[in-house]
Amino acid sequence: EKKKYIWKLLYIYVLGYDVEFGHMEAVALISSTKFSEKQVGYIAASVLLHENLEFVRLVINTMQKDLLSRDENYQCMALTAIANMGGREFAEALSGEVLKLLTSSSTRTVVRKKAALCVLRLFRRNPDIVSVDTFALKLCNLLQERDLGVLLSSMSLLCGVVSHDPQGYEVVIPKVVGVLERVAKGIDIPQDYTYYGIPSPWLHVKALRALHYFPVIENDTVWTKLQEILRRTISSAPIDKNTNKNNALHAILFESISLMMHLNMDSEVLAQCVTLLGKFVSIKEPNIRYLGLENMSRLSLVPEMMSTIKSHQEQIVLSLHDPDISIRRRALDLLYRMCDRDNSHEVVDQLLSYLTTADFAIREELALKIAILSERFASSLKWYIDVIISLIDKAGDHVSDEVWYRVVQIVTNNESLQSHAAANVLRKLQD
């Protein structure tokens, strides 16, 4: 009967009520030899208990026994519960057994997948469970797995570990590039891991992301191979009618572009990326437009790319009138970044024109950007004063006091500007 009542407690919890009793009974069921009772015990413990409860320690021994068991169902249940409940104490007591399951060649693949994600959870709670000297080589072996499930879980583990500290894990870079080559060419990818004809896009993206954590790739052979893969990715970036396929293709593409910027690839390739992003800025799909503008903003930090980005200025200005405010903000940021002495008059005029229809949510930010650009790239004091007077006329209270104080100071100290400024202000008042 105990099993039935624990299920009822779980149902009560799912309905949104706090369940402050029955915890010990759930823990007791974990020690049962019957699969159905052990299963409900593990599920209840995972859902109802947390690492700070005193009696959670009572289940550590049972979990240890289940991890050492030859029954893969018991191993999987224990790993899932450890990942859900595990704190520092769990990490210290059980990480050894979990790591053994992960690295043992005799462990079933379904268990190794769960073990990799369980190690990741324990590592986040206590990074000391792994030693760089030994674990880097173990990760190298895991990244040579043929099973895509184990490989995907291992790549998630690698991302978690190197995001904490990549030092000492440089030996995995050739293996990660090898994984990239495998998925990019579709070598030995089961049908179960093919998404709309794309070989395992999740693994592809994770492998690209893992390389972000390493500042340089010193091995020339590996670097040449990676460049070839990235070039192929951006040169074969079709736009498909199927939304799901498009999302997967664009996830790979944007992650590849991000990695190219991170690794400072040559200007020719980056210019090709800008041209590709320019096409995405004109696409109807708002998510793609947003990502196109965001990546173009990042590429604008590379001085050699500015002239290529400027060629898409007209399309970027049109994005200021997009229904989605996040796209409007991103377009505003990009215009601000790409403004220089050559196009400052044109950009400032476009921003002033946009100011009259801009949302109140971004008017203050827009007014500040116009003031900064007009002062930074002023071709003459007369032009600067005209811009700021127009800004005050259109933005009103959204203009900070420091901006118009600055104009008053300039006009006061330059007699030749006073009549021009007064006439301009009179025109604005009459209008």
Q: Is the pLDDT of residue 416 over 90?
A: no
Q: HSE-up of 91 (CA within 13 Å, CB side)?
A: 16
| DSSP designation for 10 | H
Q: Is the pLDDT of residue 273 over 80?
A: yes
Determine which of 132-141, 152-161, 297-306 has the lowest per-residue pLDDT on average.
297-306
pLDDT digit string, tens, across residues 139-192 = 999 999 999 999 999 999 999 999 998 998 999 999 999 999 999 988 889 999
Which band of pLDDT confidence, cut at 50, 70 and 90, is reported for residue 364? confident
Cα separation, 185 vs 236, whole angstroms? 12
Find the radius of gyration of the CA atoms of the chain: 30
| Whether 304 contacts 267, CB under 8 Å | yes
| DSSP designation for 198 | E
Q: Quick one: what percent of the chain has pLDDT higher than 90? A: 24
Q: Is the pTM of this model over 0.85?
A: no
Coil, helix or strand at residue 263:
coil
Spatial CA neighbour of 151 closest among 204, 76, 196 = 204
pLDDT of residue 205: 95
What is the chain's mean pLDDT, rounded?
Answer: 87
Which band of pLDDT confidence, cut at 50, 70 and 90, is reported for residue 237? low
Q: Is the pLDDT of residue 238 over 70?
A: no
Which band of pLDDT confidence, cut at 50, 70 and 90, is reported for residue 118? very high
Helices (H), 126-266: 132-142, 148-164, 173-185, 201-211, 220-235, 243-262
Which band of pLDDT confidence, cut at 50, 70 and 90, is reported for residue 307? confident
Coil, helix or strand at residue 194:
strand
Q: HSE-up of 200 (CA within 13 Å, CB side)?
A: 28
pLDDT digit string, tens, across residues 391-414 = 888 887 777 888 878 888 888 888
Count of C-beta atoms within a 10 Å radius of residue 144 = 11
End-to-end CA distance of the chain: 84
